[in-house]
Amino acid sequence: MQRNKLEKVVEARRALRERFEARIKATPSLSDPAPQGSGAPNRHGMPKLPVDQIATEKWPVLDLGIHPDVPLAKWQLEIDGACAHPLRLSFEDFMALEQVDDVSDFHCVTTWSRFDVPWQGVRVSDLLALVEPHSDATHLMCHASDGYSTNVSLVEALKPDVLLVHRADGAPLAREHGGPVRMITPQLYAWKGAKWIHRLELMTADRPGFWEERGYSMTAYPWQNDRYG
């Protein structure tokens, strides 16, 4: 990306983070005085294994049973809704953004947790900075090519470990895990991370996604056993 454009994104991201900073620090996955779980502290000082979870070495596949075939040349990400500059990115545009390597944990609500997954991708905060969310934007609806959707608050989505990833375990993200590009939400249950993501919709109020409409939690905090709404 051009230097002046990059600087603009960095500034927009800083402004966005600043706007949400206090609320980000106060989220349950960072500041719960009595988190439920076991094991040594994780990266954020919470117990490594959230309550009623079991650690697994394997990476199970969990979804609605539809694995859309999205060739890289066809993949697009739309970012729209309550923002000043709605945007559509190709995979090439996406790859031109700052690429982040991060390691984080993955907690599925069906009780398995997979620790220390190496990911590569783009921070959701960078993507949102590009479109300049309106000041009354509060939540994201994440839309996927299998018809799935899930809602995430901006307070959670702006955390630096929330990524749209295209690599996992040192390899391109496999189709069954949401390749070419999926979202990850390490501080929430993993259903908040849409596989085969194609749209981030900025909203001015919370709205339930696929599982949330069917009784799952709007918030999904693993250390509060926050599975159902």
CA atoms of 159 and 139, how far apart (whole Å): 13
Closest to 113 measured CA to CA, from 158, 164, 50: 50
To ligand MTE, the closest distance from the beta carbon of 117 in angstroms equals 10
Distance CA 76, CA 65 (A): 22
Q: Which one of residues 30, 87, 96, 108 is an interface residue with Mo ion (CB under 5 A)?
A: 108
191 binds ligand MTE (CB under 6 A): yes
Beta-bridge partners for 142: 150, 200
Q: How far is the CB of 77 from ligand MTE (least distance, A)?
A: 14
* β partners of residue 203: 139
Please give the Cα distance from 161 to 102 (Å, whole number): 7
The site for ligand MTE, by CB under 6 A, has a size of 18
Binding residue for Mo ion, selected from 62, 72, 155, 218, defined by CB under 5 A: 62
If one asks whether residue 218 binds ligand MTE (CB under 6 A), the answer comes out as no
Short-list 128, 142, 219, CA closest to 184: 142
Q: Does 64 participate in binding ligand MTE (rule CB under 6 A)?
A: yes
Using CB under 6 A as the criterion, which residues of the chain lie in contact with ligand MTE when the complex forms?
Answer: 59-64, 108, 144, 146, 148, 177-178, 190-191, 193-196
Q: Which residues of this chain interact with Mo ion, rule CB under 5 A? A: 62, 108-109, 191
